[in-house]
């Protein structure tokens, strides 16, 4: 499991804009790297829209927002367009990055066990070091909680 102080694992994933991204693309910037289960589902939509609505505040602080799920780039593009999302979504269909970050885990619902993405957010500094980890994120108030970390006033 990754912990605060670890170097963030690199990745090479395609974004909703069709370009390939790695952690190096964000060198010198703080990143909110958030992992979410599925495009266009209630919790994931609410989380994305909260980040969208707070985007201006993050930009002022030179912070990039990047969402990752196993959904396809086409799904990400539809999701982005439907909700006017103003940040990058990356597609990890082979789950390589999900596994590197430890968010692809066994889950249980109604007694049925399955593998899926555990909603998790990593805050990464300008030197690619993990500064905060939010496990099993509760969507309500999450973006506000992160903003308070970056601008405690």
State the pLDDT at residue 1: 87
Q: 105-115 burial, b if ≥16 CB within 10 A, otherwise e? A: eeeeeeeeeee
pLDDT tens digits, 35-66: 999 999 999 999 999 999 999 999 999 999 99
Domain coordinates in residue numbering, the chain: 27-115+123-137
Fold of 27-115+123-137: Glutaredoxin (3.40.30)
Is 138 within 8 Å of 128 (Cβ atoms)? no
Give pTM, 2 decimals. Answer: 0.94
What residues does 124 pair with on adjacent strands? 31, 130
**Residues designated as active site:** 44
State the pLDDT at residue 36: 96
């Amino acid at each position: 499991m990754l912990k605060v102080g670890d170097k963030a694992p690199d990745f090479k994933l395609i974004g909703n804009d069709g370009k390939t991204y790695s952690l190096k693309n964000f060198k010198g910037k703080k990143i909110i790297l958030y992992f979410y289960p599925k495009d266009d589902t209630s919790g994931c939509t609410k989380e994305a829209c909260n980040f969208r609505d707070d985007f201006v505040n993050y930009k002022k602080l030179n912070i990039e927002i990047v969402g990752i799920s196993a959904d396809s780039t086409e799904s990400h593009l539809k999701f982005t367009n439907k909700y006017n999302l103003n940040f990058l979504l990356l597609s990890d269909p082979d789950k390589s990055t999900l596994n590197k970050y430890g968010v692809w885990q066994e889950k249980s619902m109604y007694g049925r066990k399955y593998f899926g993405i555990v909603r998790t957010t990593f805050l990464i500094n300008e030197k690619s070091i993990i500064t905060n980890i939010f496990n099993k994120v509760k969507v309500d108030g999450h973006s506000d909680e992160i903003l308070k970390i970056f601008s405690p006033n």
